[in-house]
Structure 1
Amino acid sequence: MKKLLTALVFTAVSASSFAAADSFAIDPTHTAARFEYNHLGFSNQEHRFDKTSGKITLDRTAKTASVDVVIDAKSVNTGYEVFNGHIQGEDFFSTAAHPTISFKSTSVKFEGDKPVSVEGNLTLKGVTKPVTLTLTHFTLQQHPMMKKDAIGANAVAKIKRSDFGMGKLAPYVSDDVSLSFSVEAIKE
């Protein structure tokens, strides 16, 4: 009987440690991926992608997490239909050959209970490069309308578009591109 009780306790403890990671589905209606660059020295232009999906896993006890995001490159929104088509062309996003952009984390750094940066691989136009996302905001709380735990976060990063085979018109149109992400994800 003592062995059976010990086995049950061990099984319960083991099961709870495996169940500690929570999975969150990205809410596409409250998630935005944006990019900004300097245009001919005149102004900084900011555009966005309208379709984003993915998953975030978070284990608050172990202080581990993962991020897996897919962006529909054809959903680029510059506010001008002709320009949307232009930057989907071969010189830039090449969406006919590469319809998605992805980011997959390799590690997440925590300070206390909160993630502060995410290391990962960004795949853009068929080229994969390491990128660090710096979190400028993170919260985990119950969603007031869905009554489920939810994550909210903002992150920023900088890349060189030429690293991804998109260097046309540089340096007139800046090679440096700032990325920003607003993410909300609901516990599954």
Structure 2
Amino acid sequence: MKKQAAAVFTFVLAALFAAPGFAAPETYVVDPTHTYPRFEYSHFGYSNQIQRFNKTSGTIVVDRAARTGSVHISIDAKSVDTGYALFDEHIQGEDYFDTAKYPTITYKSTAVKFDGDKPVAVEGLLTVKGVTRPVTLKVTSFHSMPHPMLKKDAIGANAVAKIKRSEFNAGKNAPHVSDEVTLTIAVEALKQ
């Protein structure tokens, strides 16, 4: 009887430790050389302009078994890159990013939604120019595997959301320059 009880106990213990629900969360550090938030807007209806930020940092925590996670991204607003230095200066002014007062843009998740073991949406708070608003990022792709060159576990994703500049006190020249802006972020991160 004691042998059977010990065998059952060992089996239950092994099953508990093997259960996917007990997998530990994994923390990834954003790779700044492969992470570029971009924003797109209509310029007088002539064309859609796409600009980016060159300096991004942050962490991403993923627990695929438990279907939970978190995202914390910091963007250096002064790293805005339009491809034209004079325009970079212009949109760092008070009417737009006001980088003298607000040098950092942040995004902090409040929830990560999963489909199976893959994140499909991130709900969170975007802060631009000292204004914080809820923004949901739709994850359009997610990939996880060991990095072939760095020999570390890595993740990558693309995500998109639409916001209104005016909601962040940056709506000058609307509607000629569209109030609606499409945000996209291509992110890669390496496991700590």
Tell whether the structures are fold-level matches, with TM greater than 0.5.
Answer: yes
Runs of 4+ aligned structure 1 residues displaced above 2 Å come to: 16-19
CA distance in 1, matches of 2:174, 2:157: 32
1:144 is paired with a residue of what secondary structure?
coil
**Alignment-mate amino acid for residue 40 of structure 1:** F
**Alignment-mate amino acid for residue 174 of structure 2:** A
Structure 2, unaligned stretches of length 5 or more? 1-5
Does the 8 Å contact 1:20/1:60 carry over to 2? no
2:147 matched to 1:158? no
Does the 8 Å contact 1:25/1:185 carry over to 2? yes
CA distance in 1, matches of 2:58, 2:22: 22
- Which residue does 2:179 correspond to in 1? 175
- Which residue does 1:49 correspond to in 2? 53
Structure 1, unaligned stretches of length 5 or more? none
Cα deviations by residue, 1:104-127 (Å, 9 ceiling, x for unpaired): 000010001100000000000000
- Which residue does 1:132 correspond to in 2? 136
Counterparts in 2 of 1:131 and 1:91: CA distance versus 1, 3 Å? same
- Number of residue pairs matched? 180
- Which residue does 1:104 correspond to in 2? 108
**Alignment-mate amino acid for residue 46 of structure 1:** I
2:176 is paired with a residue of what secondary structure?
coil
2:37 matched to 1:36? no
**Which of the two has higher C-alpha Rg?**
2
Cα deviation for residue 147 of structure 1 reads 1.2
CA distance in 2, matches of 1:166, 1:60: 37
Q: 1:122 aligns with which of 111, 119, 126?
A: 126
1:41 is paired with a residue of what secondary structure?
coil
Percent identity between the two aligned chains: 63
Q: TM-score, normalised by structure 1?
A: 0.91
CA distance in 2, matches of 1:69, 1:76: 15
Cα deviation for residue 167 of structure 1 reads 0.8
Cα deviation for residue 187 of structure 1 reads 0.1
**Alignment-mate amino acid for residue 24 of structure 1:** Y
CA distance in 1, matches of 2:136, 2:54: 22
